[in-house]
Structure 1
Amino acid sequence: MTSKAQTRREALLLLLKNAGEPLTGGNLAQQLGVSRQIIVQDIALLRETGASIVGTSQGYVLEKSSRENLELTEEEDKANSDAAECSDDKKPFERTFKVHHDPAQTRDELETIISAGGRVVNVSISHRAYGFLSAPLAIETEEDISRFINDIESGKSAPLSTATSGYHYHLITADDEEAFETIGRALANKGYLAPLLPHEMPK
């Protein structure tokens, strides 16, 4: 049986899919009859399940890949599922980790993830005023880490996480589930792993 919250999240996805422009959290909240904070939480949960929702300065947008997924018919969906079962060994595993650290520890945090067998896809934050913001990273090697750190320092910029007092999320891919256990332990041992709040828990 579909819950009220799940129905609302499906409606949220459709609003983003059909929108011709970015939709703000306030706009979505008004259309769905809930608070803006609920929208932020729903978007965070939808992203956890694979929806490519990107936060911009103008509002939220649904990336093309997610739009196409929403338009699949049941037959196409089944065909894709069957194909996926045949190529599971080629599909990377994904997991989102919530972390917390100072800007000076950014390099060490990324090196910890890479050394444990992970690849950092993006960084995202959940901001009270701006909502859920995300930026691609594509960090897989030490060279990638150096490039990212140099880009930050040469541009005299600060990591996205400084807007949320060091709290942020990383979508990480790995070759198997065991790697995530290794990554989680490594981050926890260094004090980088942050606990999930009640509204961030998977349902």
Structure 2
Amino acid sequence: MNSIERRESILKSLIQSKTPLKGVEIANKYGVTRQIIVKDIAILRAKGNNIMATPDGYIINKELNKIKAIIAVNHKEEELVYEMSIVIKYGGTIEDVIVEHPLYGEIKGMLMIKNYNELNKFAEKYKKQQGRLLSVLTNGVHIHTISADTQEDINSIIDELKENGFIVSD
């Protein structure tokens, strides 16, 4: 299989997959290094494919018809799961987290968390790796892109986040 055929096969796998595909697993499948897969993904993206890298692997964003909102929030580290569970409760997806850094500008991490199972995995990974949230750079203030099926769902999410004091306001 040459590189063009491999990229076509990778794209087909991403389109058909319901879960993220890890770079190392793709590399093993094709008998190449993970670095080759990173290059293949970059080429596929350059050709206009909406491939995103998430903490769980590569996915193609199939949620283009969803209603999206960008929200500014602030919470303590221990409130992370509660904040995200509010979004999920109304059928929402937490697509990303964004912080403003004084030197680097906008720093964005793709999340694509859309159910409690994914949220629990994220929380376990965070705890296990003893990582730091991007929001530590901004004293808890950060931005999320969220999406849901309807504007009503988005409004319900925002209303409950406001009720819990998570939404940043003037």
1:113 aligns with 2:120: no
Matched residue SS, 2:108: strand
1:132 aligns with 2:129: no
More helix per residue: 1 or 2? 1
How far residue 130 of structure 1 moved from its aligned partner, in angstroms, is: 2.1
Q: Aligned letter for 1:119?
A: T
Q: Aligned letter for 2:118?
A: D
1:192 aligns with 2:160: no
Determine the C-alpha separation between the residues in 2 that align with 1:116 and 1:165: 27
Note the residue ranges of structure 2 that are not aligned, 5 or more in a row.
1-43, 50-63
Aligned length: 113
Determine the C-alpha separation between the residues in 2 that align with 1:148 and 1:163: 20
More strand per residue: 1 or 2? 2
Report % sequence identity: 24
For residues 120-166 of structure 1, the C-alpha deviation after alignment (integer angstroms, 9 at most, x for no partner) is: 11111111222100011110111111111111111111111111100
CA contact (8 A) 2:91 2:114 kept: no
Counterpart residue number, 1:173: 147
From 140, 143, 150, the equivalent of 2:117 is 143
Determine the C-alpha separation between the residues in 2 that align with 1:137 and 1:148: 9
Moved over 2 A (4+): none
RMSD over aligned CA atoms reads 2.1
Matched residue SS, 2:123: helix
Determine the C-alpha separation between the residues in 1 that align with 2:105 and 2:163: 30
Note the residue ranges of structure 1 that are not aligned, 5 or more in a row.
1-62, 70-89, 197-203
Q: TM-score, normalised by structure 1?
A: 0.52
